[in-house]
Amino acid sequence: MDTTPIRIPAELVAKLRQAESVAVLTGAGISAESGVPTFRDAQTGLWARYNPEELATPEAFQRNPRLVWEWYEWRRQLVSQAEPNPGHLALVEMERRAPRFTLITQNVDGLHRRAGSRRVIELHGNIVRTICSRERLVVEQWEETGEKPPRCPRCGGFLRPDVVWFGEMLPAHALQAAIEAAREAQIFFSVGTSAVVQPAASLPFEAVRHGATLVEINLEETPVTPMAHYVLRGPAGVVLPALVEATWPPDV
Ligand code: NAD
């Protein structure tokens, strides 16, 4: 394991300390250190045979609703056992310090809210919530008859997780709020995302077009890297706390 301490550029620290508005886009990478696998490393164990891009689609649900429901049951269970990590917590602190702050996440695990972040845009929904696949309304309770997926108590349609599947539209208000936050941000962070799933992947570019300083935090190179003003290579759970501590030392 590489134990080289993360170097946080002093110039970035100064910019962040003075920034009036900060936006952060997170992806599956920020939850990896909580034990929630990214899509790329999710193919372990029982589910190794399945490709997430073939399960997280409306077509897959139509073809085999039971399989898709069970895959989400497995993921829901994983998430319920996971805890927010120092990366999530550093973003809670950043929100407390920055005058205007928006956290935009592609994650469906709810860990940002559980960590204490308040202004969170969940672009792809949340697997903890369940909706009726016909009526699209949130369903809190249903009868467990053993049938999978269970049925909507109102209309009898199949229940499904309240997430945005590949090929589905994002909730318009959430996407609009995310675009506005990207446009007004003086500093925009792209954290733990492969930046290939649209339209979220376009947000860092939108921010730069509107004058933001772009910072990438990731283990690997992504399509964002060539555009980023600062690239911090390392795990989000190490880099984000180091950045927050350098910017707002505990005794200030
Ligand atoms: P992705 O799986 O495509 O990419 C993950 C990225 O995180 C990669 O670039 C990887 O290098 C980076 N990474 C991995 N570990 C890291 C760490 N410790 N610190 C920093 N970076 C790290 O994920 P994505 O870009 O979010 O897009 C895939 C889609 O998958 C999204 O739509 C999302 O909804 C969904 N997804 C969500 C979850 C979750 O809610 N936790 C998990 C898996 C997939």
How do residues 110-145 score in pLDDT, each as one tens digit? 999 999 999 999 999 999 999 999 999 999 999 999
- Number of the ligand 1 atom closest to the C-alpha atom of 40: 2
Pocket test of ligand 1: the residue of 25, 39, 238 to mutate, having most ligand atoms within 8 Å of its CB, is 39
Q: What is the pTM of this model?
A: 0.94
* Residue 41: other Cβ atoms inside 10 A: 9
Of the candidates 247, 245, 179, 220, which has an alpha carbon nearest to the alpha carbon of residue 25? 179
Q: Whose CA is nearest to atom 43 of ligand 1?
A: 38
Report the C-alpha gap between 125 and 107 in whole angstroms: 8
Q: Which two tokens stand for residue 109?
A: 């695990």
| Residue 33 beta carbon below 6 angstroms from any ligand 1 atom | yes
Report the C-alpha gap between 149 and 71 in whole angstroms: 11
| Residue 85 beta carbon below 6 angstroms from any ligand 1 atom | no
Binned at pLDDT 50, 70 and 90, residue 230 comes out as: very high
Mean pLDDT for the chain overall: 93
- 166: CB partners within 8 A, 6+ apart: 53, 56, 57, 197
Residue-wise pLDDT for 153-184, tens only, equals 999 999 999 999 999 999 999 999 999 999 99
pLDDT at residue 50 in the model: 74
